[in-house]
Structure 1
């Protein structure tokens, strides 16, 4: 099985929210870095456990810290 970051922030949806999975399980939808941190806390990860810019922990699909849908 290929290596995968434990946290995946999926590309922005039409409303700008981004689906978040933690270890392959749905954690919810985030609309900002603050939302993302709150979702990760609820998933059992504290602030000290997660650096949002660490590519070994967080895989950003569709761009890092982008919270709106891409425009055509």
Structure 2
């Protein structure tokens, strides 16, 4: 994988925390994926907020994901 200066800086910072470039990349990919899932859940909740049945289901999902209590 080719990287630019910004990517190398990020990798060095994460490698210091995670121990290896592989673990740093793994961590970053999983974190980005989690953010994507949370954004989608938030968008779904907004879209479905006016339907009481959907509200209950989305609240249960958000609680499961740790987005709300």
The answer to whether TM tops 0.5 is no
With a CA cutoff of 8 Å and minimum separation of 6, indicate the structure with the bigger relative contact order.
1
Task: Tell me the TM-score normalised to structure 2 length.
Answer: 0.29
